[in-house]
Amino acid sequence: MKITLRGEVREFEAPKTALEIAASLSQGLKKEAVAVKVDGVVSGLSTVIDKDCALEFLTFADEEGRRVYRHTASHVLAQAVKAVRPNVKLAIGPAIDNGFYYDFDSEETFSNEDFQRIEKEMERVIKANYPIERFELPREAAIALMQEKGEPYKVELINDLPEDAIISFYKQGDFTDLCAGPHLPSTGYVKAVKIMSVAGAYWRGSEKNKMLQRLYATAFPKKAELEAYVQQLEEAKKRDHRRLGRELDLFDVRDEGPGFPFFYPKGMVLRNILEDYWRKIHREHGYEEIKTPMMLNRGLWERSGHWDHYAENMYTTKIDETDFAIKPMNCPGGILVYERKAWSYRDLPCRSGELGLVHRHEKSGTLHGLMRVRCFTQDDAHIFMRPDQIRDEIKGVYQLIDEVYKVFGFKYTVELSTRPENSIGTDEMWELATDGLQGALDDLGVSYTVNEGDGAFYGPKIDFHLEDCLGRTWQCGTIQLDMNLPERFDLKYVGADGEKHRPVMIHRVVFGSIERFIGILTEQFGGAFPLWLSPVQARVLTITERADEAATQLKDKLEKAGIRTEIDLRNEKIGFKIREAQMQKIPYMFVLGDKEVEDGVIAVRSRKEGAIGTMTFEEIVRKMQEEVETKAL
């Protein structure tokens, strides 16, 4: 049989398992491989290959490989839990980002002590290196097997499968689970495992069903990788924006308004700095700022398609017997702004931006600090243009987004998503739009991946994935070409030929949402914001009461120089005052005692460097203003 590997055709005697083929290629590949793609379909290494096909071996470094690896680890977890608590009922156990989980119906709550017992049993299962064997059963026999094992949730899953579905199981030792697979060849392939936490989870995500216990866990091929991941999580806890928001008195989400953030005075300083920067850079790039209403009537949302496809996420009310909705998106309002007058081809492109507050009804279980909220400010901009302007406008948007992310020190990757199956519009328009996006990226020399078929139904898009200091990625910026809304709203401009033409529309955000971006920045800097972003840039500290007057005068002079300053005149030891300022992540501390007042100088401490010596007022202001102007990180 002929096997295609990385474009090269190799001949093998049939049949062979994928693992045997890997071993014949190299012992290194045999050791590293965790799964295989057979003609593009992810399969287990135990899969028998008996005909011509294309193979691609997957390792733990591949996302699909990690999911196979961790899905097998979830079966190891389930087997261990059944050994420790034989009466638990099994639900589901998929791989997820950074790990896996398994849902259990147990009368007793899992505790930290249980975690240790279960992990010990998992290690036993791994050491036993049970072969993982796949088998199939007819529907009745499958149900009978799960009934015999006392697994009602599995029986329900089987009953819900289509009549023609292949019902497969995986067996390891004396443990059998209903599963579509694929899996590793044996339990010994799993190396380092750890249970991370337990949480409640309704069966099948419905509040009408029983609450189960969900054990979250993770697995890695090497213990050192697991330890590094756990250490990263510990660092992430220290940087958790929810905790820092409260400790630094920036923002919080209260029980009285789940998903609706409060911004305190210091948080508003940070927010306003970001918004002022947004306005400045958009003016420089030729945008005009607009403001559209927060609430608009049902007719508009029907025209945009939101009323039919997004109603369950919208907050609605009646005014004068007419249905209204609080806007979940700014786009329809931006279109009405375009509609206000007739446009000529000479007027385009029309670029308008809005810091628009939107509301979306998110489920309570998905809410997370500022990262997932029910109201947020999108830094939307909409560009209306001629088709021949697509490439240049995309390049301009890309350069703006790149400029912003570099200011904050973010690395990022770019993804181009193309036409999905449920798309609207003509082949010609899709080709024009996709070529415009791809051509712009190619002109700029940008490295990007293509995500086939993952564009919006109304047009292709470019997504920007930020990488923070912990290696986590966040999808923030996006550029979307839209051929749907200009059609729905019958938008027009008069071309050079005197005829009416349809403009092309770009939707784009840079921050994504102000709230989420603040959450990301808080975690990126661990609350220790660079000077230009820091809500409080300096704190004046006194050693004795005799320095109080000079300290007050210094604070006033700093504020007049544009430096956000606090003062600490409390009758406390200077070491205590310094530690407290450090805990509040204040960039500079200016210490005044009798000697400093007498000499007309200021003892300067930096958050990062500690004591840096004495300076005059003029030297301090010059140093800080330069740091702010250059937006030093």
Could you give the residue ranges of the DSSP H alpha helices within 10-151? Answer: 18-25, 27-32, 63-84, 112-128, 139-148
In angstroms and rounded to an integer, the radius of gyration of the C-alpha atoms of the chain is 30
Q: pLDDT tens across 177-207, in order?
A: 999 999 999 999 999 999 999 999 999 988 8
Helical H segments across 263-340, by residue range:
265-284, 298-304, 306-309, 331-338
Residue 151: strand, helix, or coil: coil
Catalytic residue chosen out of the listed positions 239, 306, 382, 585: 382
Catalytic residue, candidates 179, 331, 350, 476: 331
Note if 360 is an active site residue.
yes
Please identify which of the residues 103, 177, 379, 380 carries the catalytic annotation: 380
pTM: 0.81
Is pLDDT of 425 > 80? no
Q: Which residue has the tokens 């979940």?
A: 328
For this structure, is 164 an active site residue? no
pLDDT at 190: 97
Residue 470's pLDDT band, with cuts at 50, 70 and 90, is confident
Helix residue spans in 408-444 (DSSP H): 427-444
Q: Does residue 293 have a cis peptide bond before it, meaning omega lies within 30 degrees of 0?
A: no
pLDDT for 484 equals: 83
Q: Does domain 64-228 have CATH number 3.20.20.60?
A: no
Alpha carbon distances (Å) from 161 to 133, 164, 211, 305, 429:
22, 8, 23, 33, 39
- Answer yes or no: 380 catalytic: yes
Question: Pairing state of beta strands 168-172 and 99-105?
Answer: unpaired
Write the secondary structure of 542-568 as one string of H (helix), E (strand) and C (coil): ECCHHHHHHHHHHHHHHHHCCCCEEEE
Nearest-angstrom CA–CA distance, 434 and 177:
44
> Per-domain residue ranges for the chain?
2-59, 64-228, 274-292+327-524, 295-326, 538-629
pLDDT tens per residue across span 387-421: 999 999 999 999 999 999 999 999 999 999 999 88
What pLDDT is attached to residue 171?
A: 97
**Span 351-367, mean pLDDT?**
94
As a whole number, mean pLDDT of residues 423-447 equals: 89
Pick the CATH number of 538-629 from 1.10.10.350, 3.40.50.800, 3.50.50.60, 3.40.50.2300: 3.40.50.800
| Tens digit of each residue's pLDDT (9 = 90 or more) over 533-586 | 999 999 999 999 999 999 999 999 999 999 999 999 999 999 999 999 999 999
Which of 360, 516, 577, 605 is labelled catalytic? 360
The domain made up of 2-59 has a fold known as: Ubiquitin-like (UB roll) (3.10.20)
79: confidence class by pLDDT, cuts 50, 70, 90: very high
- Nearest-CA neighbor of 312 among 239, 266, 361? 361
Q: Just give the CATH number of 274-292+327-524.
A: 3.30.930.10
CB 142 within 8 A of CB 167: yes
Q: Which of 79, 378, 389, 524 is catalytic?
A: 378
CB atoms within 10 A of CB 253: 21
Q: What is the DSSP letter of 253?
A: -
Q: Measure the CA–CA gap between 152 and 371, rounded to whole angstroms.
A: 37
| Catalytic residue chosen out of the listed positions 82, 241, 306, 461 | 461
Catalytic residue list contains 331: yes
Contacts of residue 179, defined as CB under 8 A and 6 or more positions apart, other chains included, come to 71, 75, 168, 169, 170
Do residues 269 and 565 lie in contact, with contact meaning Cβ atoms separated by under 8 Å?
no
The pLDDT score that the predictor gives to residue 472 is 83
Point out the catalytic residue in the list 67, 70, 194, 507: 507
CA distances from 183 to 42, 43, 216, 224 (A): 10, 8, 19, 23
Please give the backbone phi and psi of residue 454, each rounded to the nearest 5 degrees, phi first: -110, 15
